[in-house]
Amino acid sequence: MNLTLFDLDNTLLAGDSDFQWGQFLIERGVLARDTYDAQNAAFFEQYKAGTLDIHEYLGFALRPLAAHSAAELARWHAEFMRSCILPMITPAARALVARHGDAGDLCAVVTATNSFVTAPIAHEFGVPHLLATEPESVAGRFTGRVAGTPCFREGKILRVEQWLAGLGHRLEAFGASRFYSDSHNDLPLLERVRQPVAVDPDPQLAAEAARRGWPVMSLR
């Protein structure tokens, strides 16, 4: 059995679900544009530059989940899927996931974006396993805090190793292991798999892929 890992934002999706969730809430009047929009954009620029403080960002990004009921959030997310996410899923992305699934690979989405936003997206792709940043919840309501290790940079390695250990596997034991990603923030995990693949890469990852001879592909 082979191991195949997929980043989500700007890899399987032709866009960033975390950023777009904030924009969606602004458009629906749930969040105030003048206080949220600029900060959301600033964090996004820090992510692209590789300077993001993940804990500072999550304190900001998870706050809206804590302010609303599970029923409200579910209703908004269903609309978010229809209006924002489905248009970001290309036929090529669906075909890539299906190819690895049909081959019998052990597949997972590995994303820094929180599992509330991403679980329905992984389900839409038919990927059975999701490793995402977990928002803490108490008595069925989000607290605005993180549970466990954020699934970001080196945290992705830890989360993958913990997940595989729970299944009785080790990352190094797979004869073929792949990770598809667009971002230089994912270099730690890309360096750990046997077959890293740069997908519509950002400039920093494109340069690293060229230097190391990694394959580059597009899903757009």
The two three-digit tokens of residue 58, written as one number: 């999550």
Among 7, 16, 105, 186, the active-site one is 7
- Is residue 9 part of the annotated active site? The answer reads yes
Distance, in Å, from the CA atom of 155 to the CA atom of 144, rounded to the nearest integer, reads 19
Among 9, 16, 18, 105, the active-site one is 9
The two three-digit tokens of residue 146, written as one number: 């993180």
- Is residue 200 part of the annotated active site? The answer reads no
In a 3-state reduction of DSSP, which class is residue 87? helix
Q: What is the DSSP string of 103-164?
A: TT-EEEEEEEEEHHHHHHHHHHHT-SEEEEEEEEEETTEEEEEEESS-SSTHHHHHHHHHHH
- Neighbour tally for 56: CB within 10 Å: 11
What's the gap between Cα 153 and its chain centre?
Answer: 11
| Enzyme catalytic residues | 7, 9
